[in-house]
Amino acid sequence: MIYAKDINEQTPWQDLTPGGEIYEPGTARAFNTGTWRTNTPVFHPEACKHCMLCVPFCPDSAIPVKDGKRLDFDYMHCKGCGICEEVCPFPAITMLTGGAAK
């Protein structure tokens, strides 16, 4: 069985799966799609009340939560759409122009 962790962009065709089949769930976690980001959200923890409104709105599940607290953005998956800033009732998220993480 060939797992996603065993292949990369240097893997020869003989070692890939037929049709690109994937034999495990959740492989998107390992795939850096943050390079596509157009704008960049910045998290201001001092202003955050952890109301959790931003978390379900994020289309890329790029806002990690631990023990009832939201953490800083997962820039490996954030595309910079800015929905989090729109729904945040506090000044806890601001957007920077451009895709480079702060």
The least distance separating another protein from the CB of residue 41, rounded to whole angstroms, comes to: 25
* CA–CA gap between residue 11 and residue 26 (Å, rounded): 20
* CA–CA gap between residue 67 and residue 50 (Å, rounded): 11
Coil, helix or strand at residue 80: coil
Token pair of 28, please?
């998107």
List residues near another protein by CB under 8 A: 1, 9, 11-13, 16, 18-25, 27
The least distance separating another protein from the CB of residue 101, rounded to whole angstroms, comes to: 21
Whichever of 23 and 90 has its CB closer to another protein, that residue is 23
The least distance separating another protein from the CB of residue 27, rounded to whole angstroms, comes to: 8
